[in-house]
């Protein structure tokens, strides 16, 4: 695993990212923008599923915030992968990074499960069913933990 990580670090892309004084900060800014879109969409959607803003129709929030979260996640993952290749060996040996990847996997699996079970247009009214409320709790914990662990890696 470590030799595989060392080979990734030696790629020209990884070397250019590490060497450039503007490329790495730009990719990092893309990562932060993706995180902002993801959490900025997931938190209000999950709170709505848990009973906040009950007077607001759920379907438009489900569609708009779901797509915003997916776009944010895609951007965070693409930029995160670029940040990863610059110091792959170090990150793979970090328990904080591994824990972050576990939380990320839980967040993605939970969101995919809820979307598959509910479809594009769930016909829930004021109170979503128990499974959707449970998925909202898992989602809040998984995504907030991913964010905290991601920030923590910088202070290890
Ligand atoms: C494939 C997915 C991802 C990968 C490979 C990845 C990788 C990374 C890497 C390598 C760093 C730099 C760590 C450092 O040395 O300080 C980082 C920073 C960070 N990541 Fe991720 N990340 C991913 C997704 C996410 C997601 C989904 C979130 C949030 C929910 C997140 C939150 C953060 C945060 C808050 C930082 C610190 C940013 C800063 O303060 O500049 N990451 N990530």
Instruction: Report how far residue 97's alpha carbon sits from residue 128's, in angstroms, rounded to the nearest whole number.
Output: 34
pLDDT the model gives residue 82: 98
pLDDT the model gives residue 122: 83
Q: Is the CB of 91 under 6 A from ligand 1?
A: yes
pLDDT the model gives residue 156: 77
Give distance in angstroms: CA of 80 to centre of ligand 1.
5
Q: Which two tokens stand for residue 36?
A: 């902002």
Q: Which atom of ligand 1 is nearest to the CA of 35?
A: 29
Residue stretches of the chain with pLDDT short of 50: none
Instruction: Report how far residue 51's alpha carbon sits from residue 32's, in angstroms, rounded to the nearest whole number.
Output: 29
Q: Ligand 1 atom 22: the closest Cα is on which residue? A: 80
* Domains: count for the chain: 1
Residue 96 near residue 83, CB atoms below 8 Å: no
CB within 8 Å of 91: residues ≥ 6 apart: 5, 84, 97, 153
The domain in which residue 26 lies consists of 2-153
Residue 42 near residue 139, CB atoms below 8 Å: yes
Q: Is the CB of 43 under 6 A from ligand 1?
A: no
């Amino acid at each position: 695993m470590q030799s595989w990580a060392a080979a990734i670090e030696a790629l020209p892309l990884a070397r250019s990212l590490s060497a450039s004084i503007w490329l790495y900060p730009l990719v990092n800014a893309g990562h932060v923008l993706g995180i902002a879109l993801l959490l900025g969409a997931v938190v209000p959607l999950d709170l709505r599923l848990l009973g906040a803003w009950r007077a607001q129709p759920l379907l438009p929030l489900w569609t708009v915030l779901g797509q915003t979260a997916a776009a944010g996640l895609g951007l965070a993952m693409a930029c995160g992968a670029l940040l990863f290749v610059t110091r792959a060996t170090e990150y793979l040996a970090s328990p904080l990074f591994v824990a972050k990847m576990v939380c990320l996997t839980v967040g993605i699996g939970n969101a995919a499960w809820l979307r598959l079970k509910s479809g594009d247009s769930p016909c829930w009214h004021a109170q979503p069913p128990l499974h959707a409320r449970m998925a909202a709790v898992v989602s809040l914990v998984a995504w907030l933990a991913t964010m905290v662990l991601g920030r923590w890696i910088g202070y290890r």
